[in-house]
Chain A
Amino acid sequence: MIATSSDRVLRLTALVVPLLFGVVFYAYPVGAILVRGFESSTGERVGEVLSSASFRQVAWFSLWQALVSTALTMIVALPAAYVVARYQFWGRRALRAFVVVPFVLPTVVVAGAFEAVFARFGLDGGTIDLRHSVFAVLLAHVFFNYAVVVRVVGTFWEQLDYRPEQAARVLGATPLKAFRKVTLPRLRPALGSAAAIVFLFSFTSFGVILILGGPRIATVETEIWRYAVSRSEFDVAATLAVVQLIAVVALVMLTTRSGRTHSVDAVVMSSAVRRTDSPRQRLSLAGVIAMTVGLLGVPIFTLIERSLAVGDGYGLSNYQALTSRVSLLPTSPASALANSLLYATLAALIAATIGTLASLAASEGRGIGSILDIGLTLPLGTSAVTLGLGILIALDSPPLDFRSRWWIVPVVHSLIGIPFVLRSVLPALRGVGPNLRDVARTLGASPARVRREVDAPLAARAILVGTAFAFAVSLGEFGATSFVPRRPSTTTAPVAIFRLLGQPGDLLRGQAMALSVILMIVTALSALLIERSSGANGGLL
């Protein structure tokens, strides 16, 4: 009886806590800013903007660049997902940690690195000019989102029963056919999750569009910013925000539905990871690793090189300088880094809690559960402007006078981290098909015990994957942070990097690069640590 009542409590908690969190920190603020935008409207101007040819162009471009970015990322990253899921090789963990690194890099730094790479390979003029082009944008989106596919799909794949493929092969299917007919359908929940995240990220991408895309390219996201910040036309900005939300809701509903209908008995509780045993496998493994390291490594290497450049030679002085405050920053870069680490830890904890609870609710119910599923994914597809300004005007008086509390920053970060937890955990929970649960129940396990001994171990790994992302997202978050009123002493590392790059001087630039490199290292180490703890916890995994 005790087990049953605690189960009921957990169920209720899984619904109420995420719901409350989502309403207070997302739905209410976003609703408030949209209402305020429309209140100030005469309607005329909004109609004028919406009916203009340039708006249609912007909307269409936002959509197709996000779709193409998503397709490209899936295609390019899927081999790597396979490799880390199925092969045991030296440096596997390091590779999984390494791919997360781009997540924390401020776009202004990455854009600089990409431009340097273009220049080095002669891609910045003449016949091929990638500067300020759509291609640069797509490339950067693949760079930033590679990890999403590798980790979300890879982790799921690893837990996928490999015997059906073997059976198909024995029955005469070619490897390609076995993959298409047997593996791919069962990967669908994870593929859908990863694709949704990549799409939302690319759809709301801001710095990449502005810097790498150049001034001629605009998306709904950059237009929201321009109308709200540069022109104070809040009605137009609110209209664009609604357009953005509609697109995002439609997409999320589409992918969550496919995630639900395609739940399969996918998961085995024994490892299918093996060593490479043929030269051909070894070759393809080497190829995939080389491609990953090449794609992600070249810009990263450029950054590291810049951080070490001192005058005409190399040295560590940029790093040594990080502990003292330069006048244009309110704190030293080192304490900005400490702030970021604290925020990222809090944001990851909140995201893990809310995300896991919401996944539990969403994996069971339709009703409120599926509202949570969709609703808590939306922040990832919501403009930083909408979110930031919404919190500013909605959480402004008791009992919700939160807008200038220090912890509102990690809470906002966690909103963007929750979708990662949700999208990693849900496929895992849904992958536990009804069969496995029925077996457990038939054998006499209480619902709580099923949850504890069947669901929990399977979800644990996915929770950690999502949490690692939430941590990294928080470390690198700039947009929404910049809208929240902050005390100078709580400056975060990305804000500090942006400031350091706001004035001339090699010294400032060197420090910005050094700080970026440290952010990368911290991210890789944390990802590695989280990875290790997952090995220690889930004995079966």
Chain B
Amino acid sequence: MKHFSSRLWMVAIFILFVSACGNGSEDPVTITLVTHDSFTLSKATLSAFTDETGIVVEQLQSGDAGQLVSEAILTSGNPVGDVLFGIDNSFLQRGLDANLFLAYESPLLDQVPDEFELDAQHRVTPIDYGDVCANYWTAAFEDSAVPSSLDDLIDPAFRDSFVTENPETSSPGLAFLLATIARYGEDGWEQYWSALRDNGLSVTSGWEDAYYGEFIAGGGDRSIVMSYASSPAVGVLYSDPPVDTPPTGVLFDSCFRQIEFAGILAGTSEVDAAQQLIDFMLGTTFQEDLPLNMFVYPVNQNAVLPEVFLEHAQLSDNPLLLDWETIGKNRDTWTDRWVELVLR
């Protein structure tokens, strides 16, 4: 212990050294793609873009979609990156209100069905979509009918069966609230939720606690859970031991459509490179890599789906939709009201 203070010095110097280390020089154009933590790609995908264009893509991730949007709003004008991916239709209004994005109309949008192009000014570009739907545990309904409609959830036959998530803290929870508003209208949704509550509804804070805490999949006793249309396929893909029939089925009547967008962040100095990246994200190389990494569907209609999706994943034919501007305007009022109705 004789060199007590000199040891401290060494550590202090080390820290100073670490903080002094800066970036080296960068020759090729480098742009930064900012995403939420759920964003992953196969290793080769972004290098294909670099091979094509000479542009290097750095990635930065932080938190969930809500964190991503809040952070983008707080850093608007001096964004952490050049392109943002991961803002969905439930957050879209908030991002556009904050003028986060520069408009860009990609030529590849002609391969994307019009229904996905929500912003007429092209400040954001649709990249992928999926449905948030209730799932039921197939084995629990061997001797009885499976739930097939939103109304079934308030039927006494399915009493104490359903668990969903708090729309204030969970994205599938919010999607389900929006689904019920889309179905029953501004006048009817409150009544529906009161009935749900009377029928023994359970609410958790997040998806993990619903699926693994209360749903049968994790040892709980609830047989219906708010999850995703892709959940059966993911369940097969990551089953252990391997199975070829999914453990859950989808209640297609409950599905709410989620569309995820990318946009060029205002404040970037690499507009041209950012536009090229948007084009690339709409191209089939990128689009076909999405399903197995993020379990979502490509918006480019020419993209080919992987086999496990073709076999086990299905989307709703008539997903519930709400106009994004309506969502933006009423969201906080709806969730406040929901808290009073369901939690108090």
Residues of A within 8 A of B (CB): 6, 10, 13, 17, 33, 36, 108, 111-112, 115-116, 119, 132, 210-211, 214-216, 226, 228-232, 234, 310-311, 317, 326-330, 346, 349-350, 352-353, 356-357, 389, 392-393, 396-397, 402-404, 407, 451-452, 456-457, 460, 482-488, 495, 498-499, 501-510, 537-538
How far does the alpha carbon of A317 sit from the alpha carbon of B240 in the complex, in Å?
A: 10
Question: How does the 8 Å CB contact mask read for B7-31 relative to A, with 1 for contact and 0 for none?
Answer: 0110110110011000000000000
Question: How does the 8 Å CB contact mask read for B199-234 relative to A, with 1 for contact and 0 for none?
Answer: 000011111110111000111100000010001001
Contacts of A329 in B (CB 8 A): 40
CB distance from A457 to the nearest CB of B (A): 5
Known: A229-B64, A404-B80, A495-B37. 11 other contacts (CB 8 A): A112-B209, A112-B212, A115-B213, A216-B343, A229-B66, A231-B332, A232-B94, A392-B74, A397-B78, A483-B63, A503-B238
Contacts of A457 in B (CB 8 A): 1
List the 5 shortest-distance A-B pairs measured between CB atoms, nearest first.
A505-B238, A485-B60, A507-B238, A215-B166, A210-B205
Evaluate whether A211 and B60 lie within 8 angstroms (CB atoms) in the complex, with A232-B70, A407-B19, A502-B38 already known. Answer: no
Evaluate contact between B5 and A10: CB separation under 8 angstroms.
Answer: yes
Contacts of A482 in B (CB 8 A): 37, 62-64, 67
Contacts of A502 in B (CB 8 A): 38, 207-208
Query: Chain A: which residue is nearest B241 at the CB level?
Result: A311
Evaluate contact between B40 and A330: CB separation under 8 angstroms.
Answer: yes
Q: Which of B40, B169, B237, B294 contacts A210 (CB 8 A)?
A: B169
For chain B, residues 28 to 61, give those with C-beta under 8 angstroms from any C-beta of chain A.
32, 34, 37-38, 40, 42, 58-61
Evaluate contact between B63 and A487: CB separation under 8 angstroms.
Answer: no
CB distance from B146 to the nearest CB of A (A): 18
Q: Which of A17, A403, A452, A510 contacts B5 (CB 8 A)?
A: A452
Contacts of B62 in A (CB 8 A): 482-486
Query: Chain B: which residue is nearest A393 at the CB level?
Result: B74
Evaluate contact between B4 and A229: CB separation under 8 angstroms.
Answer: no
**What total count of A-B pairs have CB within 8 Å?**
193
Taking the complex as formed, is B71 at the interface, i.e. its CB lies under 8 A from any CB of chain A? yes
Residues of B within 8 A of A (CB): 1-2, 4-5, 8-9, 11-12, 14-15, 18-19, 32, 34, 37-38, 40, 42, 58-64, 66-67, 69-71, 73-75, 78, 80-81, 94, 166, 168-169, 203-209, 211-213, 217-220, 227, 231, 234-235, 237-241, 247-248, 292-295, 332, 343
CB distance from A453 to the nearest CB of B (A): 8
Contacts of B15 in A (CB 8 A): 349-350, 353
Query: By DSSP majority rule, is chain A's interface helix, strand, loop, or mixed?
Result: helix
Evaluate contact between A487 and B59: CB separation under 8 angstroms.
Answer: yes
Query: Chain A: which residue is nearest B174 at the CB level?
Result: A230
Contacts of A330 in B (CB 8 A): 40, 61
Evaluate contact between A488 and B40: CB separation under 8 angstroms.
Answer: yes
